[in-house]
Amino acid sequence: MSEAERERLFLENAATTSAGTRSVSGTEALLSALGEIVAMDSPVYCPGVTELEKAAAPLFPVRVDDYAAAAVTVEEVFGGIAETGTLVCSSEGGRAVQAGLLPAHHVAIVRRGRIFDTLDDFFAALSGAPPTNLTLVTGPSRTADIELTLAIGVHGPERLDIILF
């Protein structure tokens, strides 16, 4: 599969799961997209670990140091799986994988070169042992375990936005 096909499939499949999706090129376009997606009066957790997170962090006037106090997490995630539109969040480098699961809104930045065709391709690409923790996220949280009635946001964020960078 070509890179363009992989990106298209990833975004299409993520949108099918009710995730908001955008594709941007360049830091200015990323910051513009974040400005449209994130309410600027919301408490935002942005770890500021990666270069993209460092560029994004100053955009948010209400930043919190603890994801438990955030309404929104904005973070660069490890990668994505095109086949299912799934995000791969990793504990690599001491990152808290739960940071994208606790706040009501998760904004995930995915680099184009970190999208894998399938889950098998992702695991095949790992060199050595996988990170201690991996979380696979496919769309906003949903469950139907309460009288078989669909509920959004019970076991994780009720809103998920993915920005392909």
Q: Say what the pTM is.
A: 0.91
DSSP 33-59: HHHHHS-TTS-EE----SHHHHHHGGG
DSSP 104-153: SEEEEEE-GGGEESSHHHHHHH--SSPPS-EEEE-SS-EEEEETTEEEES
- pLDDT tens digits along 152-162: 555 568 899 99
In total, how many domains does the chain have? 1
As beta bridge partners, residue 20 has 161
As beta bridge partners, residue 31 has none
Of 10-14, 61-65, 82-86, 153-157, the poorest mean pLDDT is in 153-157
The CA-atom distances, in angstroms, between 30 and each of 121, 132, 153, 155, 156 are 27, 30, 26, 28, 24
* Residue span of the structural domain in which 26 resides: 3-164
CATH of the domain at 102: 3.40.50.10420
Whether 103 shows a pLDDT value over 70: the answer reads: yes
Residue 11, pLDDT score: 98
Per-residue pLDDT, averaged over 16-23, amounts to: 96
